[in-house]
Chain A
Amino acid sequence: MTRIVGRDVKRIEDPALLRGRGRFVDDIAPPGLLHVAFLRSPHAHAAILSVDCSAARAMPGVHAVLSYADIAPLLAEPRLRVALPSPAYRQTLDRPILAMDEVVHVGEPVAIVVATDRAIAEDAAALIEVEYDLLDPVADAVAALEPDAPRAHRTAPHNLLAEFTLAYGDVDAAFAAAPHVLRESLDQHRGGSHSMECRGCVAIPDAVEDRLTLWSSTQTPHVARRMLCDMLGLAEDRIRVATPDVGGGFGPKLVFYPEDAAVAVAARLLKCPVKWIEDRREHFVATTQERDQRWDVEIAFDDTGRILGVRGEVIHDHGAYTARGINVAYGAVSAMPLAYVVPAYAMRCRSAVTNKVPVTPVRGAGQPQGVFAMERLLDAAARKLGLDRAEIRRRNLVPGDAMPYATPLRTRGGMQVVLDSGDYPRCLQAALDRAEWDGFAARQAAARAQGRYLGIGLANYVEGTGRGPYEHVSVRIEASGRIFVATGAAAMGQSTHTMLAQIVAEQLGFDMANIEVVAGDTAAAPLGLGGFNSRQAVLAGTSAHVAALKVRERVLRVAATLLEAAEADLEIEGRAVQVKGVPAMRVTLAEVARAAAGLPGFSIPGGAGPGLAASEEVVIDPMSYANGSCVAEVEVDEATGAVTLRRISFVHDCGRALHPRIVDGQVLGGIAHGIGNALYEWMGYDEQAQPVTTTLAEYLLVTSTEMPAEISIGHIESPTPLNPLGIKGVGESGVIPVAAAIASAIEDALSPFNVHITRVPVMPQHLVAQISPEAVR
């Protein structure tokens, strides 16, 4: 029985944030601070003929205006070499710190201006004269792969960035023998993460020690340090990257960006602190995005609805550069069959280069697209057979008694995908029960009698969480008795400090107020991978648990000597160690720490060596697979195409929940993002690859009034055997099935009109065009 872990304890992040005393990156303002504005390309594709900074440099208040030519001599490496390895690449497209002689997307940074304040920097940026020679842009991933398509990079041989096929079983034989085959062509559209805090960084040089500190709103500070060291040619001890409070991440902040490097270069050059804060318009054209994919897929199934095979082709929009790798495309294709028994599978995927913002994970990281494709096919198959949509899924879900279920799939790192735990049919049934699925036909009929169109839809997902191999956590009790926890994990709003403090407090006195957590700071943790892929509770949580156990063992050994008692008779309670049930026989953690620190000439009590500290990087290579089921109920206005969400019922299994309320919060936030992907979020580009939605008035995020009238979340806890706490990740789960479930529900609502949903976001005009084609011109 635990006292802290698994309970809704108070978050340690809240008091400062609620009082407006958080410290976000833009709140950092050292003396002598200068401010940056970037000049960005207004063109999707152009050659740079010349850059004239003279007028900008002459402006009062301007300290520096730097183009690529100005900073190149300061760089050991001018490009951001961030691509994760893969044999699938067909070309290398690493982006430069500033554009060299070609710009390949609107928003690409061309020059950096440093001035006494941001407004002056922006004024000066407007005075930089860049002569461009416009080149044909590539605005669409499918068109990009046509043989006569213009090249997104003028010297590239083609627009194919990467190509791979994920396959197992004899899929062609399965299709040849199948009684039923159905085909779908699906389009899923690009959107952004839109953390409420945009990106930003403050570079602070220290001339005395020749060091540089970069405060950055990043999810991956250790990667940022590595990149800065590589680009600036410095040793790791010269650079510290630290994260302050981060106002949401949702994926794109895991990327190392040109702006981080350019700001660091400027600070070293000018020998004073330099800050850049991304504004929202920049966020639309410079922060990575995701989800543009075209799926042409087929399903083969028998008369009972059992899946015999799935095959097809995916074209993935990679954007203009490789800012991460093939991981989103790979994640999409490998997520597609995961929840179901699919005997044969073959999916060819091509990543296409376009003149648009680079693509990297946004909450879900391809998995929503794969799930959307699978669930659309299952709905089509159910319709063909006249089978209940829930029933066809029941017949195909990986059964609970098959766990652990070794699939023939491999992760992008080459490890076999083994579904470690869970009961998917039970989870589906729980969601159906919450949604009153069985009674829906009557509700639908009653509404239709009144001329109202209700629909219900569902989707299942399995999410790979806890991407390894490790995360660093150290636990140390200092002489004051306070407990310090440091980690390479990075917090961006998902309660990482609370999570780690809970796990450590459970072993070391149950007093979370006695614990201080430092996350995402290279000065506090020698190693780290950071925050992405729903991994930190799994990896950092496990390291924290193991480290806390080791410290606990040391505390008890030292205390046993001091108290002249047996270790087994001791307990750590609050800030002291006491004989169980005898609080009077106690020694404080401070006393234990001082004793463990040793005295000259005396042996250390307990014989366990000096200090009360442990540092762990527990390696967990296999991913733990979380799962869930979502049922959406909608009402559609057949005249306007407006969709109203009546109800979302969501049941998921992330193993053991460390803090149920935080888990709920993660799921809820994901659901809201999924609703956006289903109905509202459309990052538009015109045929010249010019972005046409660059304000929050044009690009619609879900607000409180678009949320469903009723949201019901249920939990099933199937602890994973892969870590001692049984944790699976949850950060991205909420988003994954929502667009698929809503599409299914809309199609159901409009079944009298034979409306067929093949793309998201589902927009009213698309629905009206199918409901009454004659009314739409």
Chain B
Amino acid sequence: MSERRITLAVNGQRHDITVPVRRSLADALRQDCGLTGTHLGCEHGVCGACTVLVDGRSARACLMLAVQAENLAITTVEGLAPDAAMLHPLQQAFANNHALQCGFCTPGMLTTLVELLAENPSPSAAEVRVAISGNLCRCTGYETIVAATLEAAAVMRGEAA
């Protein structure tokens, strides 16, 4: 199996890694970069758990090869919080609203919603539902995720939560 030496830029850090060319971006993030926050729920692009941001756009890390990600800026769930003491407003709102239970789908939910709020700072509940309609969650029934997103949007707009 042919291998290639590549550099991934993840959450602002360079990772020089050597990967088989068939390795998915998700596997490379998890195994070669040690970033296990990106989860694999189906490996066929339906569940959305592995969603990461590639140059700011959401992408299924299970459907993308690691070698395709070279020279692109990748953001994973580990890169969302500003520092060790503070959470991203979405993360904080998820905690406030019990928008996660087992937490397995959460990284993909968060990255998907970061993209949404960057594009649309004032989404309606219906717009949030559409935005996460490609992310499966078996625990929450989604209601609390929608509520958390609306709360985070308000915080990010500078309105009191």
Contacts and interface: CB of A to CB of B under 8 A. Distances in A.
Contacts of A247: 39, 41, 102-104
Contact of B138 (A21, A120, A245, A250): A250
A54 interface: no
B103 A17 contact: yes
Contacts of A668: 140-141, 143-144
Interface string A244-262: 0111101000000000000
B56 interface: no
Q: Which 10 pairs between the two chains have the least Cβ-Cβ distance?
A: A20-B37, A493-B102, A247-B104, A17-B103, A20-B77, A668-B141, A672-B141, A696-B46, A27-B36, A704-B142
A21 B87 CA distance: 13
Interface stretch (A7-15, A38-46, A402-410): A7-15
A180 to B, nearest CB: 39
Contacts of B20: 117, 119
A353 to B, nearest CB: 29
- Chain B at the A interface: SS class: loop
B84 to A, nearest CB: 9
Given A493-B101, A493-B102, A696-B136, A24 B95 contact: no
Interface residues of A, number: 57
A196 B105 contact: yes
Question: Which residue of B76, B80, B98 has the most chain A CB atoms within 10 A of its CB atom?
Answer: B98
Interface stretch (A339-347, A452-460, A612-620, A659-667): A659-667
A194 B138 contact: yes
A703 B41 CA distance: 15
Interface string A440-454: 000000000000000
B140 A665 contact: yes
Interface in B133-160: 133-146
A673 B104 contact: no
9 contacts: A17-B106, A18-B91, A18-B95, A18-B103, A20-B36, A196-B105, A493-B102, A669-B138, A672-B141
A196 B49 contact: yes
A316 B36 CA distance: 41
Contacts, number: 172
A144 interface: no
A193 B138 CA distance: 9
A704 B144 CA distance: 11
Contacts of B87: 15, 18-19
Contact of A280 (B44, B104, B105): B44
A673 B140 CA distance: 10
B78 interface: yes
A29 B31 contact: yes
Contacts of B146: 704
Interface string A77-118: 000000000000000000000000000000000000000010
A621 B107 CA distance: 40
Contacts of B57: none
A748 interface: no
Question: Which residue of B31, B81, B107, B141 has the most chain A CB atoms within 10 A of its CB atom?
Answer: B141
B40 interface: yes
Contacts of A494: 101
A439 B97 CA distance: 32
B143 A707 contact: yes
Nearest to B79: A20
A20 B44 CA distance: 21
B140 A669 contact: yes
Contact of B36 (A26, A280, A703): A26
Nearest to B38: A20
A197 interface: yes
A20 B107 contact: yes
B45 to A, nearest CB: 8
Contact of A695 (B38, B46, B49): B46
B15 to A, nearest CB: 15
Nearest to B92: A18
Contacts of B98: 11, 661-662, 664-665
B139 A280 contact: no
B73 interface: no
A705 B77 contact: no
A194 B46 CA distance: 13
A50 B71 CA distance: 50
Interface in B92-126: 94-95, 98, 100-107, 110
B142 A20 contact: no
B63 interface: no
Contact of A248 (B36, B104, B128): B104
A497 B84 CA distance: 22
Contacts of B1: 119-120
Nearest to B40: A26
Contacts of A670: 141
Interface in B67-86: 76-78, 80-81
A60 to B, nearest CB: 9
A705 B139 contact: no
Contacts of A519: none
A196 B138 contact: yes
B46 A697 contact: yes
Contact of A24 (B35, B104, B138): B104
Contacts of B30: 26-27
Contacts of B39: 24, 26, 196-197, 247
A733 B128 CA distance: 27
A193 B102 CA distance: 14
Contact of A707 (B42, B77, B104, B142): B142
Interface in B21-38: 22-23, 30-31, 35-38
A22 interface: yes
A664 B140 CA distance: 9
Contacts of B59: none
B76 A20 contact: yes
Contacts of A673: 138
A196 B78 contact: no
Given A18-B110, A24-B104, A696-B44, 9 more contacts: A10-B95, A14-B103, A15-B87, A18-B77, A19-B78, A280-B41, A281-B44, A665-B101, A704-B133
B61 to A, nearest CB: 13
A661 B46 CA distance: 29
Contact of B141 (A21, A193, A246, A707): A707
Contacts of A21: 37, 78
Nearest to A193: B138
Contacts of B44: 280-281, 695-697
A19 B36 contact: no
Interface in A208-226: none
Contacts of B128: 704
B132 interface: yes
A711 B133 contact: no
